Amino acid sequence: MGGWPARSTEWHIFDLAARRPKVRTKAFLKSLDKGLVLRTVARFALLPRGGPWPLEGIGAAVADGSVDANAENVQYHYDVSNKFYALWLDRELVYSCGYFANCDNDIDRAQQDKLDMICRKLRLQPGETLLDIGCGWGALSCYAAQHYGVNVHAVTLAKQQAVYGQEKIERLGLSERVKIEIRDYSTVEGMFDKVVSVGMYEHVGIRNYPKYYGTIQRVLKPGGLYLHHAITRPAKRDDRAFRRKRPESALLTKYIFPGAELDHPGNTVAMMERSGFEVHDVEGWREHYQRTCRHWHDRLLANYIAAVSEVGPAKARMWLLYLAACSVAFERNTLGVYQTLASKRRRGPSACRRPAPTSIAESFGLRPNGGGRGWATPGQDEGGTEASPPRHAHVPRERGALVAAVDDEIVALGLAADGFVDGASRRSLASEARSGLRRSAASSWPRHM
């Protein structure tokens, strides 16, 4: 298989997908030359296998949500070879959808941007505790500890991932901050400020969702944030129709992801609400995953010979086909992927609001100037006294301006109505807010600052 002409495979898969007839399958089948089909199938069936065929040993997966079944299913897919995954994932081995802030960004940049975006959506603050369910090779856990100062408990069921993750933690000097364990998510103990689960929910299985969300409820502190990131299928007219498996997804769950099942976004949100979460934000990333899978596919193809010597021809081919098929499925909208931000429900203000200022003015970083009704901007000293830092000094200045920019008119009007600022200051705040928004739009995602 090593001499297999790699480029021709690329052409086969993506060209075939692009040329797929727009007619319905039945009409397409009718139009085929039956003789040609039979001759082709016969030739294909009689092709020599080229050696032992390991796929026949693969039985139907057990997906009862038990720790043992979960471990067996996960290890089939992930404990293939760390070197194999390193041939086609990004440099941090992130195995989930990247975020392409710019279409031309490479996979390394897209994954780093994704990691940072998750940390910001979770509003991570130094010293907080984060549970990373299904941590893969530890990319997000290490990033969050390094850049946001949180203490992370990371769990995976894949032994090789845990070994790699532990080495990475030590290499980065993060042993005090990040703990990685081979552990089923359902057995995690303790309470966490934040919980994140990226690309893991697909392994849980629909019937095990109540246990899954029950676990997150159990370990999340009241008001704590939960970021959920998972591949989905579109909803069908009813649950029975949704659960009916098409041949391609049966193939995928048998040979690539045993025990896996996809949810639809409506059910994810309903399950969260039923399980005691408040949903704050749902964001579709379908096109980003189409692009991510295409990058992975092309990288695996470019390293095909090395991949074959690492995992053998059958697995290398299956993974190549699965990555191409997923890229096409995301492009066609038969697969989706959503990030959903939720919190453990509580009465009163949303847990998702920015760090609570005591007033609108303070959210701009303004302080009373000692004169009663006036306010000073940061850097502006009042009455010759040392200016005390704003109460929420850890909120970067740009972020304060940016949040305000989202609804700057409303906030500015509120400030004026409160008598905090005069007309000129109001105009300058609004312009500062707008320039904050422009800065952020240039650098990435205004919605999640």
In total, the chain counts a number of residues equal to 449
What tokens does 151 get?
């203490």
Question: Is residue 134 involved in binding ligand SAM (CB under 6 A)?
Answer: yes
Assess contact for 227 and 196: CB atoms under 8 A: yes
**What is the per-residue binding string for ligand SAM in 86-105, x denoting contact by CB under 6 A?**
--------xxx---------
Shortest spacing between CB 166 and ligand SAM, in angstroms: 14
Instruction: From 4-12, 20-28, 144-152, 197-205, give the range in contact with ligand SAM by CB under 6 A.
Output: 197-205
Among 113, 116, 128, 184, binds ligand SAM (CB under 6 A): 184
Strands 220-232 and 336-344: antiparallel
With respect to ligand SAM, which residue has the nearer C-beta, 74 or 411?
74
Helix/strand/coil percent split, the chain, to 5: 50, 15, 35
Shortest spacing between CB 85 and ligand SAM, in angstroms: 10
Structural Rg of the chain based on CA atoms: 26
- Residues in contact with ligand SAM, counted by CB under 6 A, come to a total of 21
With respect to ligand SAM, which residue has the nearer C-beta, 157 or 279?
157
Distances (CA, A) of 295 to 97, 111, 125: 11, 12, 33
Distance (Å, rounded) from C-alpha 365 to C-alpha 391?
8
Burial of 38 (0-12, 13-18, 19+ CB in 10 A): exposed
Burial of 57 (0-12, 13-18, 19+ CB in 10 A): exposed
Question: Is residue 208 involved in binding ligand SAM (CB under 6 A)?
Answer: no
For 247, residues 6+ apart whose C-beta sits below 8 A from its C-beta are: none
Shortest spacing between CB 192 and ligand SAM, in angstroms: 15
Distance (Å, rounded) from C-alpha 118 to C-alpha 136?
15
Instruction: From 192-200, 238-246, 293-301, 338-346, give the range in contact with ligand SAM by CB under 6 A.
Output: 192-200
Assess contact for 79 and 160: CB atoms under 8 A: yes
Shortest spacing between CB 97 and ligand SAM, in angstroms: 8
With respect to ligand SAM, which residue has the nearer C-beta, 156 or 363?
156
Shortest spacing between CB 70 and ligand SAM, in angstroms: 4
Question: Is residue 139 involved in binding ligand SAM (CB under 6 A)?
Answer: yes
Question: Is residue 135 involved in binding ligand SAM (CB under 6 A)?
Answer: yes
Shortest spacing between CB 316 and ligand SAM, in angstroms: 19
Assess contact for 324 and 304: CB atoms under 8 A: no
Shortest spacing between CB 200 and ligand SAM, in angstroms: 4
Among 153, 203, 295, 297, binds ligand SAM (CB under 6 A): 203
Distances (CA, A) of 167 to 89, 172, 419: 18, 9, 57
With respect to ligand SAM, which residue has the nearer C-beta, 195 or 405?
195
| SS3 (DSSP) at 340 | strand
Would you call 142 a catalytic residue per the annotation?
no
**What is the per-residue binding string for ligand SAM in 64-83, x denoting contact by CB under 6 A?**
------x---x---x-----
Tell me the DSSP string of 66-98.
-HHHHHHHHHHHHTT-HHHHHTTS-TT---S--
With respect to ligand SAM, which residue has the nearer C-beta, 117 or 403?
117
With respect to ligand SAM, which residue has the nearer C-beta, 124 or 198?
198
In the range 141-180, which residues lie near ligand SAM by CB under 6 A? 155-158, 161
Strands 192-198 and 178-182: unpaired
With respect to ligand SAM, which residue has the nearer C-beta, 182 or 387?
182
Distance (Å, rounded) from C-alpha 124 to C-alpha 141?
12
What tokens does 369 get?
């100037």
Instruction: From 130-138, 282-290, 391-399, 427-435, give the range in contact with ligand SAM by CB under 6 A.
Output: 130-138
Among 199, 214, 313, 378, binds ligand SAM (CB under 6 A): 199
Distances (CA, A) of 385 to 163, 363, 368: 55, 22, 12
Shortest spacing between CB 74 and ligand SAM, in angstroms: 4
Shortest spacing between CB 95 and ligand SAM, in angstroms: 4
From the list 103, 119, 326, 352, the catalytic residue is 326
In the range 31-60, which residues lie near ligand SAM by CB under 6 A? none
Distance (Å, rounded) from C-alpha 177 to C-alpha 153?
8
With respect to ligand SAM, which residue has the nearer C-beta, 155 or 225?
155
Catalytic residues: 326
Which residues in this chain contact ligand SAM in the complex, by CB under 6 A? Answer: 70, 74, 78, 94-96, 134-136, 139, 155-158, 161, 184-185, 198-200, 203
